[in-house]
A = this chain, B = another copy of it.
Amino acid sequence: MTVTLADVAARAQVSPATVSRVLNGNYPVAAATRERVLKAVTELDYVLNGPASALAAATSDLVGILVNDIADPFFGIMASAIQSEIGGAQGRAGGERLAVVCNTGGSPERELTYLTLLQRQRAAAVVVTGGAVEDGPHAAAIAAKLRKLTDAGTRVVLCGRPPAEDTGAVALAFDNRGGARQLTGHLIGLGHRRLGYIAGPEERTTTRHRLEGHRQALTAAGLEDDPALTVHGRYDRRSGYEATLELLRRAPDLTAVVAANDSVALGACAALRESGLRIPEDVSVAGFDDLPFSVDAVPALTTVRLPLSKAGARAGRIATGREEPPPGGIATVRGELMVRGSTAVPRG
């Protein structure tokens, strides 16, 4: 039925051991023998049985990438960068790794499920992207699972997520706090005093950090942090739209809206426009992340650029052991303020 190593061995007139060694290339095999084996392999169209070799070798070439929402370009870009450093036609032959991305939907349960599944597959490495949920029990469960993975020899790297102590995981964290501080600082510098803030889901670290940065900037400028000016929502366009309407209701006098990310900012723009407000003449709008579409918005979106590709690529390299982890296993990746047309000096 299916071709096995033994079939190839028989055809090449060698032992299965030899075939295995040719395929893995980690043991001297005479050139002539190797040729003969390779010939048999192609003639029989032999494909190695992954599970069997993983079982025998007690390792696998699977690398898992966990993302919160694969449909969101933020994660898509990061996943793409990670995968490009892992999968496919890398230099050294045989180093074929299967990079697989798993969509957790941001739910800790699913995150845990996937981690278990990867553990079950004896994954070689796992990259977890995006902010974490701060709910105690969940966070603990995930930390414990990460710990188990690293103990079992799986390399774990967190990309765009704060470090998890005591798990042996390497972390490449985004400086969300600093970016947000800069962004809000920019608006304050322009003269804005009443800034609406559309935050993400309450329980996420990313949400909290960005909000903290925003508040730090307010405080630094001696501005009051009116709780009515902060609305929580999801990280999507729809949410930005609705939150903006709510903000407008609560504070018709605001002159700027800072959004949790670019998608939310776009929704905010739509809501403002429909409310008859011009951007940036009447209200300035700012986003976060600098996704590709942000520069095409009209007006182009002022935002904080996160080096998603660069960070992802680095995470991928660390995960495959091709780059040393940062000292202490923790590195902070900074964003860059991109000032564009959507923010301006407030009216009157």
Mostly, the A contact residues are helix
Task: Flag A25-49 by CB within 8 Å of B: 1 or 0 each.
Answer: 0000000000000000000010111
Asked if A16 is an interface residue, CB under 8 A from chain B, the answer is no
| Minimal Cβ-Cβ distance residue in B for A300 | B270
| Minimal Cβ-Cβ distance residue in B for A78 | B71
Complexed CA–CA distance, A70 and B119 (Å): 24
Asked if A84 is an interface residue, CB under 8 A from chain B, the answer is yes
Task: Flag A263-306 by CB within 8 Å of B: 1 or 0 each.
Answer: 10011011001000000000000000000110011100000000
So how many copies of this chain end up in the complex?
Answer: 2
Contacts of A110 in B (CB 8 A): 87-89
- Of B49, B51, B96, the residue contacting A50 (CB under 8 A) is B51
Task: Flag A238-256 by CB within 8 Å of B: 1 or 0 each.
Answer: 0000000000000000000
Q: Is the CB of A266 within 8 A of B296?
A: yes
Contacts of A273 in B (CB 8 A): 298
Asked if A54 is an interface residue, CB under 8 A from chain B, the answer is yes
- Of B55, B80, B89, the residue contacting A71 (CB under 8 A) is B80
Q: Is the CB of B73 within 8 A of A69?
A: no
Q: In chain A between 106 and 126, which residues have their CB closer than 8 angstroms to a CB of chain B?
A: 109-110, 113-114, 116-122
Q: Is the CB of A101 within 8 A of B293?
A: no
Interface centre among A76, A113, A266, A273 (most CB of B within 10 A): A76
- Of B99, B119, B298, the residue contacting A102 (CB under 8 A) is B99
Complexed CA–CA distance, A237 and B73 (Å): 14
Q: Is the CB of B84 within 8 A of A103?
A: yes
Interface residues on A, range: 35 or more
A104 to chain B minimum Cβ distance, whole angstroms, is: 8
Asked if A324 is an interface residue, CB under 8 A from chain B, the answer is no
A79 to chain B minimum Cβ distance, whole angstroms, is: 5
A223 to chain B minimum Cβ distance, whole angstroms, is: 30
A75 to chain B minimum Cβ distance, whole angstroms, is: 8
Contacts of A72 in B (CB 8 A): 73, 76
| Contacts A98-B117, A296-B237 given; does A80 touch B55 at CB 8 Å | no
A245 to chain B minimum Cβ distance, whole angstroms, is: 15
- Of B50, B76, B267, the residue contacting A73 (CB under 8 A) is B76
A239 to chain B minimum Cβ distance, whole angstroms, is: 12
| Contacts A70-B76, A101-B70 given; does A51 touch B89 at CB 8 Å | no
Interface centre among A48, A54, A71, A113 (most CB of B within 10 A): A71
Contacts of A76 in B (CB 8 A): 70-73, 75-76
Asked if A83 is an interface residue, CB under 8 A from chain B, the answer is yes
In the complex, 23 of the A-B residue pairs with CB atoms within 8 angstroms, ordered by the A residue number, are A48-B120, A50-B51, A50-B117, A50-B121, A50-B122, A51-B54, A69-B80, A70-B83, A71-B73, A71-B77, A72-B76, A79-B101, A80-B103, A87-B102, A88-B113, A89-B109, A98-B114, A98-B117, A99-B102, A100-B100, A269-B296, A273-B298, A298-B298
15 additional contacts, CB 8 Å, given A71-B80, A87-B103? A45-B148, A47-B116, A47-B120, A49-B120, A51-B60, A51-B122, A70-B79, A70-B80, A73-B76, A79-B101, A87-B114, A88-B110, A237-B296, A263-B292, A269-B296
| Closest 4 pairs between A and B when the two form their complex, measured CB to CB | A100-B100, A51-B54, A298-B298, A71-B80
